[in-house]
Amino acid sequence: MQRGGDFRDVRITNTEWKPSRLDELGFVGRGKSRHRPRNDARLYGGPYPFIQTAEIMDADPYITSHSQTYSEFGLQQSKLWPPNTLCITIAGANTAETAVLKFEACFPDSIVGFIPDEKKADLHFIKYSLDLMRDKFRAVTRGATQDNLSLDKLLSFPLLMPPLPVQRRFAGILSAYDELIENNQRRIKILEEMARSLYREWFVHFRFPSHDKVKMVPSPLGPIPQGWEVKEMQEVADVIDCLHSKKPEECPDGSGIFLQLNNIGDGGKLDMRKLFHISAKDYKRWTSRIELQAGDCIVTNVGRVGAVAQMPDGVKAAPGRNMTAIRPRAGQLTPTCLIEYLLSSHMISEVAKKKDLGTIMDSLNVKGIIRLHVPCPPMDLMLKFESIARPMRKRIEVLVEQTQNLRRTRDLLLPRLLSGQVSIEALQT
C-alpha cells in the first residue's frame, strides 16, 4: 500500500517545487448534512442547490447543474459553499473525484471543499494535481468496509507545488482543454433541447404541421389526432433481454465492448469514458441474442430505472447485465422517434406504472418494457420528424466523440506535464 508523502515515482525537475499539505494552501473542510434521517422531506425543495457525489463524478471539470435543492430547514443543518470551490469526494465508489462549483451550493460530509489562498495556489493546478494522485488516494481506502478516504488521510498526501506563476502556466495549458470540453457540452445541451422540444411539440402537444386540419379521437392515452395509433412497444420494435449470467471476466486486450450501467449517460448518450472489454469467446456468447449497433437503444432495468442511451454510428457492443435492448422495426418506428420517446415525460410516466417495487431497489422488467404505450403518427410525419431531428442527434454524437478525444489528450498530457516529462516551453513553441 502506498503512503502519503511517497514521491519516488514523481520526477522533480526544479528545486523550486516544494511539498505542501492541502490545508497549507487554502481552506479545507468537509461538507455538512447533520440532520437525520437524511431523507426527511423537510430538508428539500427550497432554493439552495445540493450537490452529491454522483454529480461530481459526472462533471468535467465544472459542476454546472444540480438535481436536488435544500430548503431553509436544510440549509440550517448544512453550509453554503461559494463558486470556485473545489469539491473532492471522499466516500463510495467515486472516491477522489474532483470538480469545480460554478454556483453557490451545499454538499454532504462525503465531499470535501477546498478554497485556495490566491497568494499560494491556483485552483485548477490543485485540481489537476489531485486528479493525478487519484490512484494513490484510492489505494489507502482498499480493504475497508466502504471505500472512504478520511480528511486526515487526504491531508497526509503532500502536493508538489511550483511557484504560483508556474502553477498558473500549467493550469492555463490544461484549462484550454477544459474550456473546449465545456463548450462542447453546452452545444450538446442546446441540440438535445432542440430535438426534445420538437418531439414535445409534435408528439405530445400534437402541434405538428397542418395539425389544425386533423380532428382528435379517443385513445388509451387520451385524445390523439385522427390517423395516429397507440401501439405497444413490442409491435413497433424488437425488445431483447440481456443474458442472465455471471459477468464475464475483463480482457483489456479484447476487442469486444461489454456495456455496463455506468455507460448509460444522460440525454440518451452512450458514455464511453470507461469501457469494459471482454474476450472474443465471451463477446460471441453475450451477443447471441443481439449485437448492439447504431440506432439501437439500451434501457436500464435497475438502479437508474429507465435510463436510456442510443448506440452511435460506428460502435457495436454486447448488452451487459440488467439492461434491455430495443431495436426499432423498419416501417414501424424510426431511430430518432424511439430515443426521443424514451427520453420523454410520457416515458417517465409509463415507466413509473411498470416498475416492480423491490425490497432493495426499483426494477423494470422486460414484460413491462414490451407493453409501453407508444404514440405512432402516420409514417410520412414520422419520417419528416426524422429528417429534422436526426441531424441534431448525429451532431451530438460527433460532439461527444470530440469531447472524449479532448479528455483523452488532456489526461495523457496531465502526468507528463506535472512530472516534468514535457516542458511548458516545448508546448508553447
The model's pLDDT over 323-348, given as tens digits with 9 standing for 90+, comes to: 999 999 999 999 999 999 999 988 88
Query: How far is the C-alpha of 366 from the C-alpha of 346, rounded, in Å?
Result: 18
For 105, 185, 200, 413, the CA distances from 67, given in Å and listed in that order, are 12, 17, 22, 32
Q: Is pLDDT above 90 for 225?
A: yes
CB 326, CB 296: distance < 8 Å = yes
Q: Is the peptide bond before 165 cis (omega within 30 degrees of 0)?
A: no
The identity of residue 370, as a single letter, is I
Taking residues 249-277, report their average pLDDT: 91
Confidence grade of residue 274 (pLDDT, cut at 50, 70, 90): confident
Among 102, 123, 117, smallest CA distance to 56 is for 102
| The C-alpha cell that represents 21 in the structure block | 499539505
CB 219, CB 304: distance < 8 Å = no
Q: Is pLDDT above 90 for 302?
A: no
Q: What angle (nearest 5°) sits at the alpha carbon of residue 88, between those of residues 87 and 91?
A: 130
Q: Is pLDDT above 80 for 277?
A: yes
Query: How far is the C-alpha of 199 from the C-alpha of 222, rounded, in Å?
Result: 18
Quick one: pLDDT at residue 94? 77
The identity of residue 200, as a single letter, is R
The model's pLDDT over 33-77, given as tens digits with 9 standing for 90+, comes to: 999 998 899 999 999 999 998 889 888 889 988 989 999 999 999
Taking residues 72-98, report their average pLDDT: 94
Query: How far is the C-alpha of 19 from the C-alpha of 31, rounded, in Å?
Result: 26
Quick one: pLDDT at residue 359? 44
354 and 250 in a single domain? The answer is yes
The β-bridge partners of 328 are 237
250 and 140 in a single domain? The answer is no
Range of the domain at 50: 18-162
Quick one: pLDDT at residue 159? 94
Q: Can you tell me which residue has the cell 409534435?
A: 202
Which residue, of 162, 194, 216, is where some domain finishes?
162
Query: How far is the C-alpha of 249 from the C-alpha of 269, rounded, in Å?
Result: 25
68 and 107 in a single domain? The answer is yes
**Burial class for 150, CB neighbours closer than 10 Å (0-12, 13-18, 19+):** middle
* SS3 call for 299: strand
Quick one: pLDDT at residue 417? 85
For 46, 104, 238, 297, the CA distances from 200, given in Å and listed in that order, are 28, 32, 24, 19
Burial 20-32 (b: 16+ CB within 10 A, else e): eebeebbebebbb
Q: How many domains does the chain have?
A: 2
In-domain check, residue 33 = yes
Q: Is pLDDT above 70 for 80?
A: yes
201 and 253 in a single domain? The answer is yes
197 and 70 in a single domain? The answer is no
156 and 197 in a single domain? The answer is no
Low-confidence winner among 34-38, 104-108, 235-239 (lowest mean pLDDT): 34-38
The CATH number of the domain where 261 resides is what?
A: 3.90.220.20
Quick one: pLDDT at residue 368? 86
245 and 349 in a single domain? The answer is yes
In-domain check, residue 291 = yes
137 and 238 in a single domain? The answer is no
Query: How far is the C-alpha of 74 from the C-alpha of 52, rounded, in Å?
Result: 14
In-domain check, residue 421 = no
In-domain check, residue 416 = no
In-domain check, residue 176 = no
70 and 214 in a single domain? The answer is no
Query: How far is the C-alpha of 414 from the C-alpha of 418, rounded, in Å?
Result: 6
151 and 192 in a single domain? The answer is no
Q: Is pLDDT above 80 for 350?
A: no
According to DSSP, the β-strands at 323-328 and 237-241 are antiparallel
Higher pLDDT, 308 or 421: 308
Quick one: pLDDT at residue 305? 83
Q: Is pLDDT above 70 for 3?
A: no
Mutual orientation of helices 335-343 and 379-418 as an angle, nearest 10°? 70
Which residue, of 162, 195, 226, is where some domain finishes?
162
* SS3 call for 117: coil
According to DSSP, the β-strands at 44-50 and 68-70 are antiparallel
Quick one: pLDDT at residue 146? 59
In-domain check, residue 204 = yes
In-domain check, residue 178 = no
148 and 213 in a single domain? The answer is no
Q: Whole-number mean pLDDT of the chain?
A: 90
- Chain Cα centroid distance, residue 356: 25
| The C-alpha cell that represents 135 in the structure block | 490512484
Among 115, 143, 139, 127, smallest CA distance to 27 is for 115
- Which secondary structure element, helix H or strand E, spans residue 282, and what is its range? helix 280-286
Query: How far is the C-alpha of 40 from the C-alpha of 89, rounded, in Å?
Result: 23
- Please give the backbone phi and psi of residue 167, each rounded to the nearest 5 degrees, phi first: -55, -45
Quick one: pLDDT at residue 316? 97
In-domain check, residue 420 = no
The model's pLDDT over 354-412, given as tens digits with 9 standing for 90+, comes to: 666 554 446 678 888 999 999 999 999 999 999 999 999 999 999 999 999 999 999 99
365 and 293 in a single domain? The answer is yes
Query: How far is the C-alpha of 201 from the C-alpha of 207, rounded, in Å?
Result: 5
Higher pLDDT, 172 or 423: 172
Query: How far is the C-alpha of 390 from the C-alpha of 17, rounded, in Å?
Result: 52
Query: How far is the C-alpha of 382 from the C-alpha of 261, rounded, in Å?
Result: 30
Record the pTM: 0.84
Taking residues 150-172, report their average pLDDT: 92
